[in-house]
Amino acid sequence: MAAFLLRRLANYAVLVVLAASLAYLLAAAALRPRANYEDRAPRPPEAVVDAQLTRYNLNDRTPLAERYVTWVSGLAHGDFGRTWQGDSVNEELWRRVGVSLRLLSLGAVLGSLLGVLVGAYAAVRRGHTADRFITLLSYLLLAVPVFVLAVLLQIVASTINDATGVHAFEWVGESTPGASEGPFGALGGLGDRVRHLLLPTATIALGQLALYSRYQRSMMLDVLHADFVRTARAKGLRRRDALLRHGLRTALIPMTTYFAYTSGLLLLGGMFTEKIFGWHGTGEWLVDSITRGDVNVVAAVNCLAAVAVLLAGLASDVMYGILDPRVRTGPAT
């Protein structure tokens, strides 16, 4: 299995380099950071603008290949460069990564786990009312875009807050300034963070739940009447135990590959969620930077996203190896 993972890691490293390079080249060719200076009053002299942009490797009059080499040289030393205002991309990037992780990690874990369980249950109850209800709910969630779902959750939360007279839900920002300075101190600050986290986490989790439940149901249906499940039952196992020990484990194997595919959709959903709920993470930063033509920021966020997606692919390979003994004992393909 170690040789299999090393080969996969080498492939992923090549893909990261290609994805990061393509992201930078597209951003540098399409975006115009010069426009930020053209809107100023009074407008700076052209020579001053050129000097400023050249200092930050953002001058669109410098050949693209030369700018790319400069960017790669800095990236080799762990430096993503500067924003068009001269701030360090690295410092802001890692701060915003922490915000995005707090938002995405809990929603992704809850959504994937619940999706697998709900999908497996729907397959076992195929044709019953529970299966029909889960199917209808899943299709509704899949049909609703993330930004629409977020707005709908805000409307529901506002209705609940008004009906109960208690602000159980908050949806602007990560926390309220000064919340930890109240009578409950740090405990009050924690409660405030939880209230702000509920709706964005639910937005991410519901989207993941819909995706995983449909795919898991389909995979589970393929193994319900498989020979190994019937053999396990013939040996005395109850139907539930046979499905959990043998059926679910087998049905989870293709789900590991699906996990890698959905990681990109998770990042995209997180970008919309951050923007709607006012979380200052990498997704919101990316959208704002595209608007400003901030090439180095766009390239840095896309590079980080490529690494995240490919790490998800590596994690799916590890889970695949754990669930499927053929990967550990047989030749890697």
List, for residues 260-285, the tens digit of each pLDDT value. 778 878 888 888 888 888 888 898 99
Q: Could you tell me the pTM of the whole model?
A: 0.80
Q: Looking at the domain that runs over 93-292, which CATH code has it been given?
A: 1.10.3720.10
The kind and range of the H/E element at 182 are: none
Nearest residue to 114 (alpha-carbon basis) of 210, 31, 46: 210
**Using DSSP, how many helices (H) and how many strands (E) does the chain show?**
14, 0
- Which of 79, 83, 69, 86 is CA-nearest to residue 31? 83
- Look up tokens 């709607």; give the residue: 276
Helical H runs in 42-185?
46-55, 64-76, 89-124, 129-143, 146-164
* Least confident among 48-57, 123-132, 234-243: 234-243
Length, in residues, of the chain: 333
Least confident of 9-18, 58-67, 314-323: 314-323
Phi first, then psi, for residue 251 (nearest 5°) are -70, -20
Instruction: Give 326 or 247, the one with higher predicted confidence.
Output: 247
- The residues, any chain, with a CB within 8 Å of residue 183's CB and separated by 6 or more, are none
The residue among 244 and 289 whose pLDDT is bigger is 289
Question: How many CB atoms lie under 10 A from the CB of residue 90?
Answer: 15
Break the chain into its structural domains and give their ranges.
93-292
Q: Is 261 helix (H, G, I), strand (E, B) or coil?
A: helix
Q: How confident is the model at residue 187 (pLDDT cuts 50, 70, 90)?
A: very low
Burial of 276-300, coded b for 16+ CB within 10 Å and e otherwise, reads: bbebbbbbbbbeebbebbbbbbbbb
Interatomic CA distance for residues 261 and 283, integer angstroms: 19
Q: Which amino acid is at 74?
A: G
pLDDT digits (tens, 9 = 90+) for 26-64: 999 999 998 888 878 788 888 988 999 999 999 989 999
Query: Which pLDDT score is estimated for 260?
Result: 75
Strands (DSSP E) found in the chain: none
**Going by C-beta distance under 8 Å and a sequence separation of 6 or more, which residues neighbour residue 145?**
272
Query: Computed from CA positions of residues 165, 168, 174, 175, in that sequence, does the dihedral angle turn out positive or negative?
Result: positive
